[in-house]
Amino acid sequence: MISSFVAIAISLALRATGLPLPSSATAEGLDISTTLQNILSNTHNSDAYTYPTDFTRGIIPKPIHSHNDYWRDIPFYSALSVGCVSVEADVWLYNNTLYVGHEQSALTPARTFDSLYIQPILDTLHRENPTTQFVSKATKNGVYDTSSGTTLFLFVDLKTDGPTTWPIVVKQLQPLRDAGYLTTFNGTAITPGPVTVIGTGNTPLNQVQPVQNRDYFFDANLALLSTTQSNITAFVSPVASTQFRKYFGTINGTTFNDTQIATLSQHLAVANEKGILGRYWDTPGWPIVTRNAVWSTLIEAGVGLLNADDLPEAAGYGGVNGYW
């Protein structure tokens, strides 16, 4: 046992230096030749072992929404690294520029909608859609190499006046639009794309719903789909969201009561009938046992996107419990 640990330590140390590994120093304790070890370490730098779309290789997409994504150390990329299929940016309009932050005091000139989201998403998609001699026309792969048909939901939460801010959001989508990366609606059908933009917050419904040819959508209220927003379809709102605490109050312990279960079932049944994904925000984050119980209940009830603040925990929890 001790010799195995020593072999592993030596192997890791040699790998860090980039030096060839002797057969006696393999981490597995197997008699693998130095030549094969060098090949496995790609010390010969052969182009044959460079995978062209490896930027997100090995990352499995998960139905997780990165709530307040701009709070991450690296917005968008942190969510991408754990497989989130949905991110959210709060935007504030000042002098025709969209700044990103939870509140005005958090805004800086460098943190814009373009710099934190449009350009990083565009760069990721360019990496997943390289131009080569084998491609006869531009491809439209999504951000995840393991599931190229999976769309990325980009929620844009308007914090300033909706009617004046939303047109600027639409305008700033132009780089993604020019590349053909946006999900579109032509008046009768949706054509899926690598990115599906959804306006929320102060986004005006009347600047989305009546538009017959568009590449953006609206975040309906999940709790109102059977009442005041019953005329909203999946063509307008692929996803509908609502505040968890408003409709469920405080969850005591690890179980929902009968009334809470009935409310959850009713919300999601209406959404499912319309082909709309459901999402709840403001879910409890503490205590952990309650947070996890809420996650399980929502997932098992059929929520479309799991709202999460702790992304690694959410991704790991779903994996350990067999949800994805």
The tens digit of pLDDT for each residue in 282-292 reads: 999 999 999 99
pLDDT of residue 16: 46
* Domain map (residue ranges) of the chain: 2-49, 54-218, 219-324
**Crossing angle of the two packed helices 288-301 and 311-320, in degrees rounded to 10:** 60
For 116, phi then psi, to 5°, come to: -95, -20
Instruction: For residue 300, give both structure tokens.
Output: 């098992």
Q: Which residue has the higher pLDDT, 133 or 92?
A: 92
Average pLDDT over residues 185-203: 99
The pLDDT of residue 271 is above 90: yes
Which of 57, 112, 58, 62 lies closest to 90, judged by CA? 112
Amino acid at site 158: L
Q: Which residue has the higher pLDDT, 40 or 215?
A: 215
Average pLDDT over residues 238-246: 99
pLDDT of residue 29: 60
Residues 6 or more apart whose Cβ sits within 8 Å of residue 27: 7, 8, 11, 12
pLDDT of residue 272: 99
Report d(CA 77, CA 74) in Å as an integer: 6
pLDDT of residue 43: 73
Q: Are strands 239-243 and 190-191 parallel, antiparallel or unpaired?
A: unpaired
Segment 102-156, tens digit of pLDDT:
999 999 999 999 999 999 999 999 999 999 999 889 999 999 999 999 999 999 9
Q: Which residue has the higher pLDDT, 11 or 281?
A: 281
- Residue 282 contacts residue 254 (beta carbons within 8 Å): no
Q: What confidence category does residue 249 fall into, taking pLDDT thresholds of 50, 70 and 90?
A: very high
Q: What confidence category does residue 14 fall into, taking pLDDT thresholds of 50, 70 and 90?
A: very low
Instruction: For residue 72, give both structure tokens.
Output: 């991450």
The pLDDT of residue 25 is above 90: no
Burial-class residue 186 by CB neighbours within 10 Å (0-12, 13-18, 19+): exposed
Total residues found in the chain within this entry:
324
Q: Per the confidence metrics, is the pTM higher than 0.85?
A: yes
Average pLDDT over residues 72-80: 98
Residues 6 or more apart whose Cβ sits within 8 Å of residue 169: 91, 98, 113, 156, 158, 199, 216
Q: Which residue has the higher pLDDT, 5 or 293?
A: 293
The pLDDT of residue 220 is above 60: yes
pLDDT of residue 320: 95
Is the torsion defined by CA of 223, 226, 227, 232 positive or negative? positive
Which residue spans within the chain are E strands per DSSP? 62-66, 84-94, 97-100, 152-158, 184-185, 190-191, 195-201, 217-218, 220-221, 239-243, 277-281, 306-308
Mean pLDDT of the chain: 92
pLDDT of residue 23: 45
Give the chain's largest Cα–Cα span. Answer: 71
The pLDDT of residue 6 is above 80: no
Residues 6 or more apart whose Cβ sits within 8 Å of residue 212: 185, 186, 187
Is the N-terminal amide bond of 287 cis, ω within 30° of 0? yes
pLDDT of residue 47: 83
The pLDDT of residue 65 is above 50: yes
pLDDT of residue 281: 98
Q: What confidence category does residue 44 fall into, taking pLDDT thresholds of 50, 70 and 90?
A: confident
Which of 243, 247, 191, 245 lies closest to 214, judged by CA? 191
